Amino acid sequence: MYIFSDHQKKQAEGINKIEALVKNNNLKFSTVSPVVDYKNDSRICLTSVHLLHNNLIKQIEEKIINPLKRISPKHHYYSPCSLHTTIKNIRVINNPPHFTNKDIEKVNQVFSEVIPHHKKFKVYFYRLLLFPANLALIGTTDSELDKIILDLDEKLKKAGVADDKKYASNKYFFSNITLARFSSPLTNKFRKKIYQLSDISFDPYTVDSVTLLTCNAVLKKKHIINTWLLK
């Protein structure tokens, strides 16, 4: 378990509040409605992510995904090339999309101006969080993530392409890797396994790049627009 900085403690408080909202079925933030076939879901978003490096992908598969798959193989588990942590949403998933080619051009320009000026940052993955229709690995971060998000927010608004996602909090953002999505009820055995795995930790992970893309909720129908390195 990590020793949290003051910034991370604020993030952890926010994460605990989200967990309480989920338990009370009082969701006040945007979520992805479940579908039977996630791979072929025609709802598309415009978003930015960090695509995970192989070392973390392998650990996630070995420690979490494979044990859960053995219990409930029919849920949609993210493939290695789809595992990611979102940096900044621009348009939530929808069919038809909530964006145009002109919007993509504007967003690409904003990211080209903003991202190269920001630094790499570390993520401290430390727990699982079960939502109504998905399971996520959650991590606190260095404060650089907040700086990136707020900088992008300001400039995207000025460019006329403000983020349309509803968030639980507008400060103390954290890192979230969706591992699985559900379209059928969870068994008690599956829930018990999640509970057993929940307090899980990894070595600090460095986010060193940001990729702008369009895709569906499980990173299929993917079109990469651009990728930038953090300094």
Domain 45-229 has CATH 3.30.230.70: no
Residue 172: per-residue pLDDT: 78
Spatial contact of 124 and 141, defined as CB atoms under 8 Å apart: yes
Query: Whole-prediction pTM value?
Result: 0.95
* Burial tier of 95 (Cβ tally within 10 Å: 0-12, 13-18, 19+): exposed
Spatial contact of 59 and 201, defined as CB atoms under 8 Å apart: no
Per-residue pLDDT of the chain (231 residues; tens, 9 = 90+): 566 899 999 999 999 988 998 888 877 677 899 999 999 999 999 999 999 999 999 999 999 999 999 999 999 999 999 999 999 999 999 999 999 999 999 999 999 999 999 999 999 999 999 999 999 999 999 999 999 999 999 999 999 999 999 887 677 799 999 999 999 999 999 999 999 999 888 999 999 999 999 999 999 999 999 999 999
Spatial contact of 85 and 177, defined as CB atoms under 8 Å apart: yes
SS3 state at 114:
helix
Residue 28: per-residue pLDDT: 66
| Nearest of 130, 137, 136, 126 to residue 190 by alpha carbon | 130
Task: Using the structure block, give the residue that is written with the tokens 């401290």.
Answer: 124
Residue 31: per-residue pLDDT: 80
In the chain, alpha helices (H): 6-23, 54-60, 66-71, 101-114, 144-158, 188-197
Task: Using the structure block, give the residue that is written with the tokens 């509040």.
Answer: 17
Amino acid at 44: I
Q: How far apart are CA 221 and CA 40, in angstroms?
A: 8
Residue 1: per-residue pLDDT: 55
